[in-house]
Amino acid sequence: MPHSRRYRSSERSSRGSYHERYRSRKHKRRRTRSRSSSSERDRRHRREDSYHVRSRSYDDHSGDRRAYDRRYCESYRRNDYSRERGEAYYEPEYHHSYEYRRSRDREGSYRSCKSSRRKHRRRRRRSRSFSHSSSRSRQSSRRAKSVEDDDEGHLIYRVGDWLQERYEIISTLGEGTFGRVVQCIDHRRGGARVALKIIKNVEKYKEAARLEINVLEKINEKDPENTNLCVRMFDWFDYHGHMCISFELLGLSTFDFLKDNNYLPYPIHQVRHMAYQVCQAVKFLHDNKLTHTDLKPENILFVNSDYELSYNLEKKRDERSVKSTAIRVVDFGSATFDHEHHSTIVSTRHYRAPEVILELGWSQPCDVWSIGCIIFEYYVGFTLFQTHDNREHLAMMERILGPIPSRMIRKTRKQKYFYHGRLDWDENTSAGRYVRENCKPLRRYLTSEAEDHHRLFDLIESMLEYEPSKRITLAEALKHPFFDMLEMEPSTKMWDSSRDISR
């Protein structure tokens, strides 16, 4: 590459002609003379490269800084899943670290020069060029300060700021481990309101954003009319190291609505409609050789989360009922095509399929398992597998769903979890008592003996089948008897999947 050739030639100060070395020093002086000392130059370069330093240091300690989902207890619900993608999605656009090294090398050759004549010439030229170079330096310094990051790599912004001379920031909608989502006015779309996802200036999150953009472009290409209920991407750009993605503006996530409603379960007719839409959206992905790999209530958003309020006399509290159960599936940063590398571990802990835990390989059926866990959570209001440990997770599965198949036990590399072909689990320990007291066979979670409720649990059971090859497919799930009543229920009357509420 041309950059690398120039870098190597700058080190060969002992070779080449006097004029070449002189021109090199002259070039260096014009770039760096705006500062009065080498220490100030060092500080300037460090400030310009600060986000690169943060990015590297964050990745170096990523194992110690994994993200926690806010669930029930704000710090309990852990997302211990990380991508294992390569780093070469495309070449980075920033080369500040290279420039810093090059200027430091030139500084070394500058200090080694002892000719008094050359020093005299430098002083003369400095007196002539100081005024011009210092003003240029002050201008570049002001430009650098206009875009700043905080210590975690978030973009620092204020309400009223504009990005790309197009997006006017109105408010902050939310924050996650990846960055922040802000509501903006898109002045190139007639003042439409959009959600702008601003990714942290941290390489692993930027890489995930690039992967998400690739998937979203494929989804837009395959579904130009946006009929398959996956969130629609309008635009994307790189803003000073922050990947930014513009989406249609949606409401609360199905989890946030549940949390704000004191974890009051959704009524069964709303569970039916939401479950049907999730199956439809994810089936579209599967039909296009994609696996979402991170399905959870946080990644399923209402199109509009307006609600009606009623007062519960028995519990003495206000209760919310969402007006429309139209939803969108979001967050494709972990989505994987069939031909791509499949990471060993995927999914957020509570929605992770047994074949992933046992490292038996995974494909589209792992999404079906996650959907089964999600539907259960909509129905009862809490997570089915409330744990953060693999062995305990497997023990919960056995308590709720029955024994793990012997074939899966024989094939897994995780033999440390088993002893003589059975799960190595002591029910008399504190963890054993926790599982015994908090988990029970699946059908015992039924809140009604009505046929409709039993049909729902029949669907959930077929989704929570241990063997991926025996697990129901989403094409089969959409034909399940539980969805037969869908046409007659009021929730569908408000469902218009093509409606644009962003204006």
Averaged pLDDT, groups of 10, the chain, 503 residues long = 42 43 47 48 47 36 37 44 37 36 43 52 50 41 60 92 95 91 95 96 93 95 94 96 96 96 96 98 98 97 96 88 97 94 95 98 98 98 95 98 97 96 94 95 96 97 98 98 85 44 35
CATH 3.30.200.20 fits 150-247, yes or no: yes
Q: Catalytic residue positions?
A: 294
How many other CB atoms sit within 10 Å of the CB of residue 63? Answer: 8
Judging by beta carbons within 10 Å of its beta carbon (0-12, 13-18, 19+), is residue 352 exposed, middle or buried? buried
Strand, helix or coil at 133?
Answer: helix
Q: Could you tell me which of 158, 216, 204, 155 has the C-alpha nearest to residue 180? A: 155
| Residue-level pLDDT at 151 | 85
Distance, in Å, from the CA atom of 274 to the CA atom of 268, rounded to the nearest integer, reads: 10
| Residue-level pLDDT at 292 | 97
| Residue-level pLDDT at 177 | 86
Q: Could you tell me which of 406, 408, 402, 396 has the C-alpha nearest to residue 469? A: 408
Domain boundaries, the chain: 150-247, 250-488
56 is written with which tokens? 């590297």
Q: Same fold for the domain at 150-247 and the one at 250-488?
A: no
Give the CATH number of domain 250-488: 1.10.510.10
Could you tell me whether strands 192-199 and 179-186 are parallel, antiparallel, or unpaired per DSSP bridges?
Answer: antiparallel
pTM for the complete prediction?
Answer: 0.71
User: Residues in the chain, how many?
Assistant: 503
| Residue-level pLDDT at 32 | 46
197 marked among binding-site residues: yes
